[in-house]
Amino acid sequence: MLNPYDPADSANRGVGFFLFEANDWQQEKYTLRASFSMFQQTAMPEVKAKKREASDDELQEPITSEEFLAMGEMDGRYELVEGQIVEVDKEATMGFPSFRHGQIEVRLGRHLDEFVQEHALGHVAGGEVGIYTERDPDTLRGADMVFVSNERFGTRSPEATYLDVAPELIVEIISPSNFWGNMRDKLKEYFDLGTERVWVVESENEAVLVFRSPTDLTELEAGDTLDGEGALDGFSVPIETLFAA
C-alpha cells in the first residue's frame, strides 16, 4: 500500500503523490501526484467569514450550521469549519461544479445506487451532501457522494438537515481547482468520524484513490477495477467506465 506520509513511497513513484508537477504548475493546473514534503507546504484556504455585511478580512463569532444554511447562495464553494465559513474552491462560480465533474458523479452514482438498491443495503446520495464532522462549534463538510447503511441511517437524528452519522463510504471528485490542504483535513475528519472508505476521484488524471485510512491508499487507473470492500462487498466497476468520453 502507498503511504503519502512516507518519503520512500514518493521517491519510488518518480513524480510522487501530492506534488505540483513543473509543467502543470506553469499551466496553473493542479495534480494529485506529489511528494508529501511539498504537500505539507500547500497553504490551507484562508479562513474568512463571509457574512454579507462583514469585511472579508474579519473573523466573526462562530455560527451554527442553521445560520450557515440561512445565508443562501454565495459565489464559490464553502464549508463550515469550527463555526467559520471557509472557501474551499476559489474558481467555482456560484458553487456550480463542472460538466465533467457532474458526468463522473452521475456515472459512479448510477452504478453504486443500482448495487445498493438491488441488495437493500442502505442509501446513496449525491450533490454536495452535508456531513457534520463536529458539533458546537459546528463543522459541516460537503461530499460529492455518500453511502450510508440501513443500520447507521436508522440512528440519525430525524430533525437533522444534514447527516449526523458517519457514512460507510464518502466520494470526493477532485478537479484542478480544488485545494488539497482542505482535502487533507477532510480525510482525517471523515475517518475520525467512523467512515470506512473514501474514494477520491481525480478527474484530470482519470484515476481513483481508495483511502482505507488517511495514510493507507491504493491508486486505480484504466485497466483496474474499483471494488466496494467492507459494507459494499461485491460492488465493482471498471475505472475506464467512469471516465469514458
- Condensed to tens digits (0 to 9), the pLDDT of residues 23-54 reads 332 333 334 444 333 333 333 333 333 333 33
Domains in the chain (CATH in brackets) are 1-42 (no CATH), 99-243 (3.90.1570.10)
Q: Which of 85, 167, 43 is nearest to 77 (CA)?
A: 85
* Residue 71: other Cβ atoms inside 10 A: 13
What is the 3-state composition of the chain as percent helix, strand, coil, each rounded to the nearest 5?
A: 25, 30, 45
* pLDDT value, residue 62: 72
Residues in the chain: 245
pLDDT the model gives residue 86: 73
Residues 6+ apart with CB under 8 A from 160: 132
Distance between CA atoms of residues 47 and 39, nearest Å: 19
Task: Using DSSP, state whether 66 is helix, strand or coil.
Answer: helix
Residue 208's alpha-carbon distances to 5, 56, 85, 242, 243, in angstroms, are 18, 35, 29, 10, 10
Geometric angle at alpha carbon 213, from 232 and 176, rounded to 5°: 90
DSSP assigned state of 162:
S
What's the confidence (pLDDT) of residue 24? 38
pLDDT value of residue 176: 58
- Could you say which residues of the chain have pLDDT below 50? 1, 3-57, 90-94
What single-letter amino acid sits at 238?
A: P
Residue listed under C-alpha cell 503511504: 3
pLDDT the model gives residue 92: 46
pTM over 0.75: no
**Interior CA angle at 145 toward 4 and 74, to 5°?**
95
Relative to beta strand 169-174, strand 197-202 is: parallel
β-pair partners for 217: 2, 211
